[in-house]
Structure 1
Amino acid sequence: MATTARFTNNVGVINQGKDNTDRIRTNEYLTPDFAATIAIAPTKSYTLVKPGTLTGAVTFTAGVGTSTTAPYVGDTMTFILIPDGTTRVATFGTGFLPTGTLSVTTAKTANISFIFDGANWEETGRSVSA
């Protein structure tokens, strides 16, 4: 849970190993198999998570790093969730601020996004396709 951002701090000094231009923005795409609990350990500035088809209820947990390792303040993470032929419930547990659950309706796709605040992943938005 680094409490600094990946980009320039307020005194004009670029934090070592971080980027103030987004020219070297780092991305990762994670495709974990479906399981009742899926642990995500984001290490890049943007993480896209598209697990296998949801065939049951799922709980996601997310790493919050250490005071000097990723994730960093401002890092973002987006989930793309697709259920099988039944409405499925996704819960966001450890590492996420409590925002409730997300029901992914049959024959729809759900997206939910988060930003890291230095301690937790805070929800920034969600949608379920029409």
Structure 2
Amino acid sequence: MTWIKESANGSRSFNFVAPEGATNATNEVLFPFHEKQTPAYAATLAVAVKQYNTVLAPGKLTGNATINLSVNSQVTPGAKLLLRLEADSTQRTVTLGTGFDADADQVVVPISSVVFLEFTYDGTAFMPVAINSVELAELTSELEVLKDTEVLDPDYAATLAVSVAKRETFLQPKELTGEVTLNLTIDVGLAPGSKLHIKLTADSGANRTVTLGVGFDAAAAAITVTKSTTSFKSFVYDGTAFVPLT
């Protein structure tokens, strides 16, 4: 028996259980050491993988790139490669070249975004690790919510005409320097349950009154914003008009 680490009380031995199905007389697994590589951006990135866990985080992508891996002979199946890709203000495409599975797709990194990917070594090449169906469903749901959100910040005017077409709308007019009436134009396809969140900030001159006009429930009371303060109010769409949330 062999020991991995000596304790204060002397050496301690640890054994490994041989897995079922192992047929070779000698079976080796690379020690799970790690390495992080942060090369500067280049159109072609040549990366040497020699540890069981490798984190690859190139500099910000200022152009498209191809990543080629040279896999050290000591790397054993099951090794992990974690990839972090960040694009500048332009969408960038990363081609997975040598060392990756031939069927691995190109990676598209959206404008000013970061993409994280994981790969596992199968003894020949690094294969993409796909997210499971539950994670995919959650991600899709989150993206749908983000896609159906809008922030509106119109300049102050005595009458503000606002179009509401998203499931979640954040309305934050510039500082109120006088009284104001809010009129909504509601998209015909807007689903009941959609939310409208309003942020109102009054200047230092006086208290400001905000009248809730077209598109709001007829019983919705005007909002008084005390001078030099900010008020928040949320509404939900009932299929006809926006009703205050209490």
Q: TM tier, shorter chain?
A: 0.7 to 0.9
Gap runs ≥5 in structure 1: 1-19, 126-130
Q: C-alpha displacement at 1:104, in angstroms?
A: 0.1
Q: 2:153 aligns with which of 11, 28, 31?
A: 31
Which contiguous aligned blocks of 4+ residues in structure 1 show a shift greater than 2 angstroms? 20-23
Higher mean Cα deviation, 47-56 or 21-30? 21-30
Quote the residue 2:198 is aligned against.
79
Larger relative contact order (Cα-Cα within 8 Å, sequence gap ≥ 6): 1
What is the TM-score of this pair, normalised by structure 1?
0.74
The yes-or-no answer on 1:95 pairing with 2:215 is: yes
The 5-angstrom pairing of residues 10-89 of structure 1 reads 21=141, 23-25=143-145, 26-66=148-188, 69=189, 71-85=190-204, 86-89=206-209
Q: 1:113 aligns with which of 222, 227, 234?
A: 234
CA distance in 2, matches of 1:56, 1:42: 23
CA distance in 1, matches of 2:243, 2:173: 20
Counterpart amino acid of 2:225? V
CA RMSD of aligned residues (A): 1.5
Counterpart amino acid of 1:77? L
CA distance in 1, matches of 2:228, 2:174: 15
Gap runs ≥5 in structure 2: 1-139
Preserved contact between residue 160 and residue 182 of structure 2 (Cα < 8 Å): yes
More helix by share: 2
What is the TM-score of this pair, normalised by structure 2?
0.40
